[in-house]
Homo-oligomer: A and B are copies of this chain.
Amino acid sequence: MLATVIRSEPDRFSAAAHTYPLAALDRIGSVVTARSGETLFHAGDEARHYFKVKTGTVRTCKLLAGGKRHIGAFFLEGDYLGLDADDTYGCSAEAVTDAELIKYSRSAVGRMVDQHPGLRRRLIDLVSAELSGAQTQMMLLGRKTAVERLASFLLAMAERQGGGDHISLPMTRTDIADHLGLSTETVSRTFTEIKIKGFIRLVGLDGVTVRNRAALEDLADAASA
Chain A interface (Cβ < 8 Å from any Cβ of B)? 60, 62, 64-70, 72, 83-86, 90-91, 110, 113-114, 117, 120-121, 123-125, 127-132, 134-139, 141-144, 178, 180-181, 221-225
Contacts and interface: CB of A to CB of B under 8 A. Distances in A.
Contacts of A72: 135, 138
Contacts of A144: 64
Contacts of A68: 143, 222, 224-225
B139 A138 contact: no
Given A135-B72, A135-B91, A142-B141, A66 B225 contact: yes
| Residue of A121, A125, A134, A225 ringed by the most chain B CB atoms within 10 A | A134
B137 A70 contact: no
Given A124-B123, A225-B67, A90 B132 contact: yes
B66 A223 contact: yes
Contact of A142 (B60, B110, B180, B224): B180
A155 to B, nearest CB: 14
A144 B138 CA distance: 13
Contact of A86 (B90, B132, B136): B132
Contacts of A70: 138-139, 142-143
A64 B139 CA distance: 8
A218 B196 CA distance: 43
23 contacts: A62-B135, A62-B136, A62-B139, A64-B139, A65-B221, A65-B222, A65-B225, A66-B223, A68-B222, A70-B142, A84-B132, A84-B135, A86-B132, A90-B131, A110-B117, A123-B124, A124-B127, A127-B128, A130-B131, A134-B138, A141-B141, A141-B142, A143-B181
Contacts of A85: 128, 132
A62 B62 CA distance: 25
A144 B63 CA distance: 11
A128 B84 contact: yes
Contacts of A62: 135-136, 139
A142 to B, nearest CB: 3
